[in-house]
Amino acid sequence: MWDRGDWVKNLILFFDGVALLVPKYLKEKPRILDPAVVAGLEQHNLLHMLQPETVVDETATAQLAGAMREIIECGRLDSLPAESEFHELSMSRLGYFGNEDLATELFKELKKRGLAKETEDGKSIPMHPKVRSLVLILLSQILRSYGPKMEAELSPVTDRPLAVAALSEMLSHKVIPTTGSVIAFDMSTVSVDVGSVPIDEVLSYRKENLAAYRRYSLSVRRFAQELSKMSDTERVDAFDLRQSELDDLSADLRKKARKAWKKPAALAFSLTGAAVSLAAGHPLAAALSLSSAALGYTPASKPEMGAYSYLFRASERYPY
């Protein structure tokens, strides 16, 4: 769930919809937390509730368990600071409905290290907050393969910089086989913050300008994909050319937004990603790569990124 509805109003300008992974027992939570924005998105068929009881299937559970096992065994979780307060993660998102044996084994490994506790409600597991975030970061990559069932391409997006930082750290670690380097873009101001604008007005503006915003988000991802596969020398030569393209596109978005809303730009946009190599038998690489083959889906073109996440931030700290 998003922290602020204002963020979603900005996000929806760049994409065809928003998908949330919501357990059945929490299905009304988004409507309770942000009724106006949820109602506006649902009215235009832009909000999709994915149920982990179905989506986190046996294949996804195996990928999650394998990736977590790899991280646990290499000692990455051994130095986590103790936390006085654990946060609940639904059992469905840990894979109990996909493969209960694998999910139980993973839970026991975490509990043995003091990173998880026995369920108190039969629906969720109290978990160290950093481990909980790690599971959700992995799921955001693993469940991209569910997109073809929706006739969509799922892209991980967040308004939490720490989540993207965690993904970057994980990709940079030596246990992750990558074909190139991790590419992380600094924040770029691309548009006006429409958080204070009523959702109906935002959606009307979106209808007129979606193509331009979508072109920008796809260009950012292609930019990262191309650079991540280059050597350091090649990247130096190519960066200015690629950056010029993004600068032109972002300038066009700022112009459109300022004209429509009569206010300075303040929406910042970033992406972290890397081309991940599907090394034979490597569970963490498999979890971080789009595994459409598991669904019998053959895309028209090869996936552009092994693992990535967009980051949006709307703030007065980014005047333009």
The string of pLDDT tens digits covering residues 65-74 is 999 999 999 8
Task: Return the structure tokens found at 276.
Answer: 């991940």
Task: Return the structure tokens found at 115.
Answer: 């990173």
Q: Region 272-291: what's the mean pLDDT?
A: 81
The band of 295, judged by pLDDT with boundaries at 50, 70 and 90, is very low
DSSP letter, residue 146: G
The span from the CA of 88 to the CA of 95, in Å, is 14
Provide the Cα torsion 242, 170, 160, 143; round to 10°: 90
The span from the CA of 297 to the CA of 274, in Å, is 22
Question: Mean pLDDT score of the chain, rounded to an integer?
Answer: 87
**Least confident span in 57-71, 150-164, 173-187:** 173-187
The string of pLDDT tens digits covering residues 79-112 is 888 888 999 999 999 999 999 999 999 999 999 9
Comparing CA positions, the residue from 133, 140, 222 lying closest to residue 185 is 222
Containing 307, the helix (H) or strand (E) segment is: strand 307-314
H helices present in the chain, as ranges: 5-11, 29-33, 35-43, 52-55, 58-73, 100-112, 129-142, 161-172, 199-228, 232-261, 283-287
pLDDT score at 319: 42
Residue in this structure with the two tokens 């065994």, named with its chain if needed: 73
pLDDT score at 121: 96
304 has pLDDT over 70 = no
pLDDT score at 301: 47
pLDDT score at 214: 93
Strand partners of residue 178: 276
- Cα 48 from chain centre: 15
DSSP letter, residue 95: T
Residue in this structure with the two tokens 């294949």, named with its chain if needed: 59
Domain ranges of the chain: 157-314
The span from the CA of 253 to the CA of 192, in Å, is 9
pLDDT score at 235: 86
- If you average pLDDT over each of 19-23, 181-185, 231-235, 312-316, which comes out highest? 19-23
The span from the CA of 225 to the CA of 231, in Å, is 13
Q: Which residue has the higher pLDDT, 138 or 319?
A: 138
pLDDT score at 290: 64
The span from the CA of 225 to the CA of 220, in Å, is 9
The band of 54, judged by pLDDT with boundaries at 50, 70 and 90, is very high
